[in-house]
Structure 1
């Protein structure tokens, strides 16, 4: 028998809270005091996506508006596949899509962004397999040596506002947009 779902799509007893230290949403079970960054088993991913887009997207949340010498700021949209180093995300507890299926999916997102239908942060909020989805894919500032080499190599060649092509790393497939 399935557990009743709340408007968040989380199983009964679970709620979305916001971290005071990271200013990010996380999942909390009041009765057990269990907290986690990834959604618990039994979550309805579509319902959670809609809830997070309405209540925890980057709209209206201002990121740090200061430059850090030697560092850049990027947002990304990540599509994981079953060969990713950690094939799970806030959207899916077990990712089973093939590399080829992930490629087709991210190509669709790339097309929607290039066509002006959606921005990368808008799509990242609901479609990215990275927990940075909560912030529209914003990874904050980072420098050389902070990210996976393939990701960094692509990110550091971008000008502010520019988006990369599809970048493959051990984490999955990315679209990267340089913010600053």
Structure 2
């Protein structure tokens, strides 16, 4: 399915075409905020892929936090930077990088925030390659969302199981599972921690 180093996840959804809308978007922000708190409110966060920067106001909401906004699309980075201003941009450092070869050193950031990227990779080998790269770059945690809703609950449970096995295979420990709406939706935000 191609070289895992050439992942293109710049198709992150713009705010209007987000995988969630209305109350679900508010719930998604609440879950992201809770995951950040459970991660210890990290001071240096890599938002990858950042897409349109729709989470930047949340990520930049902590005055001492620096956000490295990374994407493999220079166009997406430029659009995101143009869509925000003021205090948000004061805390954002753009990074144009290949997603499976993040141009940061080992243990470079406190946490990686990946709300739109992992679920777009259907090939398990590419997903695992990206998770291993996240493990290399993160000093402590990974916050990752799985929003895709398979047509059947059994398929969703299987996909969750596969994802969780890959988290462990990459070296992470699952610290928290935050459901969009328990018993109704299979959408979930995970907080993963390096042991």
**TM-score category by the smaller chain?**
0.3 to 0.5
How high is the TM-score relative to the length of structure 2? Answer: 0.31
User: Higher helix fraction: Structure 1 or Structure 2?
Assistant: 2
Bigger radius of gyration: 1
